[in-house]
């Protein structure tokens, strides 16, 4: 029995992970920002992905989101999809 996925809460958690890595205020993170816009360079982006995977216990596909150029919204969508897949599999 798992809680239904709360998209808004998940988005806030992802914003917080990104903000922590970028050392910025979570309020600055917008869905349309890219990681690059927020000053998260390639190696930091890998850490963001790792933190998100750990936080939600999911695994992104290897050739999944383009972490430098995709938007934060793209990342949120990818997490929601991974969580939904996980729920279906459970």
Tokens at residue 73, please?
Answer: 């919204």
* Cβ-based neighbour number of residue 35 at 10 Å: 27
**Site residues for other proteins, window 48-67 (CB under 8 A)?**
49-50, 59, 62-63, 67
Comparing CB distances to other proteins, the nearer of 29 and 45 is 45
Please, what sign has the CA dihedral across residues 6, 29, 36, 50? negative
- Minimum Å gap between C-beta 41 and other proteins is 8
Q: Of the candidates 55, 52, 57, which has an alpha carbon nearest to the alpha carbon of residue 18?
A: 52
| Identified binder of other proteins from the candidate list 7, 28, 46, 84, rule CB under 8 A | 46
Q: Catalog residues that contact other proteins under the rule CB under 8 A.
A: 41-43, 46, 49-50, 59, 62-63, 67
């Amino acid at each position: 029995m798992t809680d239904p996925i709360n998209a808004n809460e998940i988005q806030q958690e992802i914003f917080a992970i990104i903000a922590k890595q970028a050392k910025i205020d979570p309020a600055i993170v917008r869905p349309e920002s890219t990681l690059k816009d927020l000053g998260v360079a390639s190696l930091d982006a890998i850490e963001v992905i790792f933190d998100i995977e750990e936080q939600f216990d999911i695994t992104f596909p290897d050739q999944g989101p383009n972490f430098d150029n995709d938007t934060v919204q793209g990342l949120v969508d990818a997490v929601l999809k991974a969580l939904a897949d996980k729920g279906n599999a459970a």
